[in-house]
Chain A
């Protein structure tokens, strides 16, 4: 027992942003994830690539706690969060965006971002309306400006265009003081201009904020990531620097349709 305590202490001392250890997730007989182990340093920016059904979004869902892994452990900044509910992980600095925007359609843009800031601060149950000089309202307004939605900030989210909703999705993930963000195909369906804006936002994030980005578009992925994890059939297939992965013959075969996904 004594050495397991020591192991735990030393593990938390390594200070990795994210550590997955033998994480599997079964849906019935289907293994959406099998034995995935991955370590991400604080501030590291990593892309996860892979064909449809490779387990990328399942990986994100396990990390955020949308559902629990069948086996394995997940550590966030050294803390074992494997069985934590999603909101506890978020309060520890984790954020994520969704592939298909999950927004609050009945509320305005400002309300959406305000809720995101409120969710990771005190006073979630406050019955008092925020004052005009409320710090969280200001924080929300500057986030909205950062994603170019200021003109729409009082519009209901249900009236936004697709691209605007994607941008709002990013703003929600940047609210509060994020330490590590999971981006699930943030560029999907964006126009070339919006894509450039997205790359700017990602590359201009403060250095201490690390992220994992799922991205089908190699150009985007390789420009915003310093390391790449290639997934295939629920397993990690290759890890390495972007250039290595790009030139890897096995990856090329997989990605360019040589072997049927």
Chain B
């Protein structure tokens, strides 16, 4: 099972290939069916503002999970990479600020925006990979903060404090992608694609080598790997996922302003990834849905029990504190422990059973 794989990673493709239906556990089928038919019973608000937003945040957190979980590099610049893609979509495409926006068609503006964001993320990575641990966090935080202040103070390109509004999703294939159902499927499709891509790449030579760098960088160079180049390439790969999410984000909110790339959202991405769990690419999406639900309903929940609604941030903070306190490896860790605690352990060794034989 995909989640319990962490305790006993399947080795390479050398194992007898399982057919696609056998390899995917039942819970994923159920989840897939629910997500696919969600528009049949969920409201536009749930589709667009809950799931649409969660898929986007989940993708940005996924790019962090790739760097942190497989590469051991905690980057706080992922939200900024997404923000750069969002800004570039607004600047190169069209917005209400027509004195700045170039007005390129979406099929030109979006690839260009993604390319610029990937370049930005890769350059940030090139700076950050020369440091380790807490210094990586500091240098990526510095880059994120610098971009925030730059965007807020620059009026000629970034339109300063107010940013860009009316950045609308395009219409193509006869579909108006502003429509909640259409946007739901668009963000779902991108999120599933990004998830599968990360899962696939994690077992490729590039992904394995990245995990090798995480476990022991010195040994990796003693095996012939250029560790620095590998780390920078990981940033480029992660930036691609964050950039696609950034384009979706600007379409979802129809606007982008410095507030979207400030320190707060950068930390939110870290919280989402850590709360969900960094051990598997599903973690960031679990974290994102919890985050979005808390963000959306914490205020109502407080009012319902007679407390002042403006304390909703406190409830969010407490929620995350509880999760991280109980399970340092996030919700994924809780899930794993619950599974191993519910009769699925081997009676002899006490370890969780091998995937597939339980």
Where the two chains meet, the residues of A that have a C-beta atom closer than 8 Å to any C-beta of B are: 64-66, 85-87, 90-91, 95-96, 98, 102-112, 114-116, 118-120, 123-132, 134, 137, 141, 153-156, 172, 175-176
Contacts and interface: CB of A to CB of B under 8 A. Distances in A.
Given A66-B218, A90-B221, A127 B12 contact: no
Contacts of A141: 14
A103 B223 CA distance: 11
Interface of A is mostly: loop
Nearest to B13: A129
B208 A124 contact: no
A132 B13 CA distance: 6
A104 B214 CA distance: 8
B201 to A, nearest CB: 5
Nearest to A115: B212
Given A64-B222, A108-B9, A126-B205, 4 more contacts: A114-B208, A129-B12, A129-B13, A154-B8
B226 interface: yes
Contacts of A85: 221, 226
Which 8 pairs show the lowest CB-CB distances between chains A and B? Answer: A119-B224, A119-B223, A104-B215, A90-B224, A102-B219, A110-B11, A86-B221, A120-B224
Nearest to A117: B223
A154 B225 contact: no
B14 A125 contact: no
Contacts of B220: 115, 119
Contacts of B215: 103-107
A125 B223 CA distance: 14
A90 B227 CA distance: 13
Contacts of A109: 11
Interface core residue of B14, B201, B221 (most chain A CB under 10 Å): B14
A116 B226 CA distance: 13
Contact of A106 (B11, B211, B219): B211
B40 interface: no
Size class of B's contact patch?
A: 35 or more
B3 to A, nearest CB: 16
Given A134-B14, A154-B10, A124 B205 contact: yes
Contacts of B15: 154
A188 B192 CA distance: 49
Interface in B74-92: none
B223 A137 contact: no
B206 A124 contact: yes
B154 interface: no
Given A102-B216, A102-B218, A130 B12 contact: yes
B8 A91 contact: no
A103 B204 CA distance: 19
A154 B148 CA distance: 46
Which among B9, B13, B212, B224 has the highest number of chain A CB atoms within 10 Å? B224
B219 A126 contact: no
Given A103-B216, A111-B9, A124-B209, A137 B14 contact: yes
B223 A90 contact: yes
Nearest to A92: B224
A96 to B, nearest CB: 6
Interface string B187-213: 000000000000011011111110110
Contacts of A115: 205, 208-209, 212, 220, 223, 225
18 contacts: A85-B226, A87-B223, A98-B219, A102-B222, A104-B219, A110-B11, A111-B9, A112-B212, A118-B208, A119-B224, A119-B225, A120-B223, A120-B224, A126-B205, A130-B204, A131-B13, A134-B14, A176-B224
Interface in B15-62: 15, 17
Most chain A CB within 10 A, of B12, B211, B218, is at B12
Interface in B320-335: none
Given A118-B205, A119-B225, A104 B212 contact: yes
A169 B307 CA distance: 61
Contacts of B1: none
A132 B204 CA distance: 13
B138 interface: no
